Structure 1
């Protein structure tokens, strides 16, 4: 899945699946590095999404506290 098609929910779901595979040792050593790299990308995506959402929510709250006019 391309990152442009990714939502937070899909990224979190994929990240959870990767974590479970690693925890249960069901990941082949041959693809472990690939899974860890993908997990890293998903974590970065989720953190960016959360920061952007937090910024937007804070902006909305400020507008509600100080309505123009």
Structure 2
């Protein structure tokens, strides 16, 4: 997967959520989409953790 910034990962996650909420989703692709959503969630959480740590570090200095 290409390295995404937070906004790109969040936008892709939102798109996947809309697809997952759609009643016409193909069951054959459900597991793949859920896996991709989990990967995007991990990217977003990691970016937020890094930002939080950077802000805390700056506030200490």
Q: Distance in 2 between matches of 1:26 and 1:57?
A: 43
Using CA pairs below 8 Å that are at least 6 residues apart, which structure has the higher relative contact order? 2
In angstroms, what is the RMSD of aligned CA positions? 1.0
Count of residue pairs brought into register by the alignment: 61
Query: What is the SS of the residue equivalent to 1:25?
Result: coil
Instruction: Report Cα offsets for 1:36-56 as digits up to 9, x if no partner.
Output: 000000001111110010000
Equivalences for 1:45-64 in 2 at 5 Å?
A: 45-63=43-61
Aligned equivalent of 1:42:
40
Determine which of 16, 23, 26 is the counterpart of 1:25.
23
**Displacement of 1:3:** 3.8
Q: Which 5+ residue runs of structure 2 have no aligned equivalent?
A: none
TM-score norm. by structure 1 comes to 0.81
Aligned equivalent of 2:13:
15
